[in-house]
């Protein structure tokens, strides 16, 4: 018999809404916290979130609130699904509202600038009493809302936490796998946003399948090279949180980062694209941070350097591609099992 949990999901965007709905469908008591009063009323009265998941009905038992304290009152599990730039501020407030040993799961795929902190590290600093986990994978929210089959990864060194989140989210269309490599799973989710921009640019240029294949596999090599240098397990990148998430994000116009890249490939300026989207895609911010880290650590990341040159240095795609094709030729596969 499944245990009924009191769950709070912080962040009423597309993914936060989608996973909140899964848990409500599974019979759990779920509150979705967001900042917009009209949207909260819409969820409570009309059972939809037209701003982020239009045309998808939500479980009538799912409630929404703009009161953070009320949302987390009595919650034994909290999901953090706010944008990365809001994570620390929300976490500071949250710290005084939740009990010791509350499970706190980050779903945010971003990096905090300054000291290069992943969201789990931010949460560990601000909410030290919580049991921490990270959720990441090929999880396009609209497909989840449409009950299309997918999987995700819950990562924590706390095995009982992993089992709890697996039971909480598992459904006929949403499968949850476990990992102990928190850093690798989380870093994979952040890094793939950069390569989704590149994939979108390539698609706009009408490139062939050979080129797409090369771009995606070299993206995976670059991601894993960086992550392993930072202490991640290279095998993580062969799973859903690595290659799985990379494929979904690099091949789907549902991805905001892919759409940014596509419009860049069409010749639009980054400023015009951001104005149209209403917010900066995570990959744009992550790009600067990874470029800086790669240079400081001497990590070879030609695709990151190429995208940076296009967005911030005014280089054309043709110029950058030409330089890359004549750059140093390295080994295809860098990590091997023995």
Q: What is the DSSP string of 233-298?
A: -GGGGGSIIIIIHHHHHHH-TTSHHHHHHHHHHTT--HHHHHHHHSS--HHHHHHHHHHHHHHHHT
Q: How far is CA 123 from CA 77, 89, 103, 128, 129, in A?
A: 14, 10, 11, 7, 10
Mean pLDDT of 55-83: 96
- Report the CATH fold assignment for 6-180: Rossmann fold (3.40.50)
pLDDT tens digits, residue range 239-275? Answer: 999 999 999 999 888 888 999 999 988 888 888 888 8
Above 70 in pLDDT, residue 326?
no
Closest CA to 239 of 316, 311, 176, 285: 176
Q: What percent of the chain has pLDDT over 90?
A: 70
Contact 242, 179 (CB under 8 A): no
Closest CA to 264 of 208, 199, 324, 214: 199
Question: Which part of the chain has CATH 1.10.1040.10?
Answer: 184-325
DSSP annotation of 2: P
DSSP annotation of 132: E
Above 80 in pLDDT, residue 337?
no
Distance of CA 318 to the CA centre of its chain: 30
- Look at residue 190 in the predicted model and tell me its pLDDT: 92
Q: What is the CATH number of domain 184-325?
A: 1.10.1040.10
**Residue 157: which pLDDT band, with cuts at 50, 70 and 90?**
very high
Contact 250, 262 (CB under 8 A): no
Q: Quick check: pTM over 0.85? A: yes
pLDDT tens digits, residue range 6-58? Answer: 999 999 999 999 999 999 999 999 999 999 999 999 999 999 999 999 989 99
Catalytic residue among 117, 142, 192, 230: 192
Question: Which part of the chain has CATH 3.40.50.720?
Answer: 6-180
Name the packing angle between helices 182-204 and 256-265 (round to 10°): 30
Q: Is position 192 annotated as part of the catalytic site?
A: yes
């Amino acid at each position: 018999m499944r245990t009924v949990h009191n769950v709070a999901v912080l962040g009423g965007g597309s993914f936060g809404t989608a996973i909140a709905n899964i848990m409500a469908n599974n019979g759990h008591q779920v509150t979705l916290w967001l900042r917009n009063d009209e949207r909260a009323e819409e969820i409570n009265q009309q059972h939809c979130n037209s701003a982020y998941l239009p045309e998808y009905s939500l479980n009538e038992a799912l409630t929404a609130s703009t009161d953070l304290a009320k949302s987390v009152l009595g919650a034994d599990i909290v999901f953090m699904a706010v944008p990365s730039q809001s994570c620390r501020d929300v976490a500071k407030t949250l710290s005084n509202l939740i009990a010791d040993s509350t499970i706190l799961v980050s779903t945010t795929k971003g990096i905090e600038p300054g000291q290069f902190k992943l969201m789990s590290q931010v949460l560990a600093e601000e909410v030290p009493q919580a049991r921490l986990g990270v959720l990441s994978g090929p999880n396009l929210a609209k497909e989840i809302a449409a009950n299309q089959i997918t999987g995700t990864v819950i990562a924590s060194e706390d095995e009982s936490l992993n089992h709890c989140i697996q039971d909480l989210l598992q459904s006929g269309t949403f499968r949850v796998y476990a990992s102990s490599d928190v850093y690798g799973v989380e870093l994979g989710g952040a890094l793939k946003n950069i390569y989704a921009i590149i994939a979108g640019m390539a698609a706009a240029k009408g490139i062939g399948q050979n080129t797409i294949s090369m771009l995606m596999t070299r993206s995976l090599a670059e991601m894993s090279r960086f992550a392993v240098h930072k202490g991640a397990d290279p095998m993580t990148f062969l799973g859903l949180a690595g290659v799985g998430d990379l494929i979904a994000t690099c091949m789907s116009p549902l991805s905001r980062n892919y759409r940014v890249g596509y419009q860049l490939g069409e010749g639009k300026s980054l400023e015009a694209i951001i104005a149209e989207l209403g917010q900066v895609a995570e990959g744009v911010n992550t790009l600067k941070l990874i470029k800086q880290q790669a240079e400081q650590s001497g990590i070879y990341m030609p695709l990151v350097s190429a995208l940076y040159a296009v967005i911030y240095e005014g280089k054309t795609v043709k110029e950058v591609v030409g330089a890359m094709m004549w750059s140093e030729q390295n080994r295809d596969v860098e990590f091997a099992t023995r």
